[in-house]
Amino acid sequence: MVLIKLKALKETRSFYNWKLKDKGLTKKQRDSFLLALKNIEGIIQEKEKAGEKRKHKRFIAYDQKAVF
């Protein structure tokens, strides 16, 4: 499985938004960019939601000698 970093997804999203502002795109190209942008948004939301869930499950290491 390929791991996609959140930062790379956000950069791709900003590139697609910039590309959609181009006046020379055909309708087919514009539809393709919009579909890809929608998919990227969904992936970003899933990753952010998964990050929030994992945030509370982090292992906290402690010094056993200091505790006992």
Asked if the structure places residue 33 within a domain, the reply is yes
pLDDT band at 1 (very low <50, low <70, confident <90, very high): very low
Is the CB of residue 12 less than 8 Å from the CB of residue 40? yes
- Chain CA centroid to CA 18, Å: 17
pLDDT tens sequence across 2-61: 567 888 899 999 999 999 998 899 999 999 999 999 999 999 898 888 876 555 555 666
In total, how many domains does the chain have?
A: 1
User: Which of these, 49, 48, 16, lies nearest to 33 by C-alpha position?
Assistant: 16
Asked if the structure places residue 58 within a domain, the reply is yes
Q: Which tokens sit at 5?
A: 């970093």
Asked if the structure places residue 10 within a domain, the reply is no
Measured CA distances, 22 to 30, 33, 36, 60, 63 (Å): 9, 11, 16, 49, 57
